[in-house]
Amino acid sequence: MGDSLIFGDREAEFLKELLRQKVEFMVVGLSAATLQGAPVVTQDIDLWFRDLEDLGIKNALKKLGGSYIPPIGAHPPLFAGDAVKLFDIVVHMHGLGEFDEEKKNTLKVSLGRFKISVLNLDRIIKSKKATGRDKDKIVMKVLSDALLASQKRKPA
């Protein structure tokens, strides 16, 4: 890939295939913050889908040798397979609206020759504040500083 250190070729291929399949999704969480310049580290890539029943997801997974494991009891849905092992499925963003409402709060980020929707940094911050988890509190200052820096870079 080259454009983004958080995405390797396999991950980029999955995202590209989701786009080919016309699946509506956005990258959220710290991976989305990283794509917007926040100097944070994460071990996964959080994807929020408009509709987990979208056949395009199944088709993209099949093409890349992955599979979908539906939620069982308290266990959330997840992907299995080498090409998709870094992806986590997000079913709800605390403190935010539903997918269709939040879609307007995204920006397009280039990954090579294609672009993906990424949740805006201010919305990521709002959601992390709403969760109140210690791990989210730890990165809040860095995320807030990154948001401030990005706002200063934007032309008036």
Q: Is residue 98 part of a domain?
A: yes
Q: Is residue 21 part of a domain?
A: yes
CATH of the domain at 18: 3.30.460
> For position 24, what pLDDT does the model report?
98
Domain count, the chain: 1
- β-strands 87-90, 45-49: how paired? parallel
> For position 124, what pLDDT does the model report?
97
Give the domain range for residue 64: 9-135
Residue-by-residue pLDDT tens, the chain, 156 positions: 334 556 788 899 999 999 999 999 999 999 999 999 999 988 899 999 999 999 999 999 999 999 999 999 989 999 999 999 999 999 999 999 999 999 999 999 998 889 999 999 999 999 999 998 988 888 989 999 889 888 887 665
> For position 131, what pLDDT does the model report?
92
Q: Is residue 1 part of a domain?
A: no
> For position 42, what pLDDT does the model report?
87
Phi/psi-derived region of residue 13, left when phi > 0, alpha when psi is between -120 and 50, beta in every other case: alpha
Residue 133: CA atoms inside 13 Å, Cβ hemisphere, count? 10
Q: Is residue 66 part of a domain?
A: yes
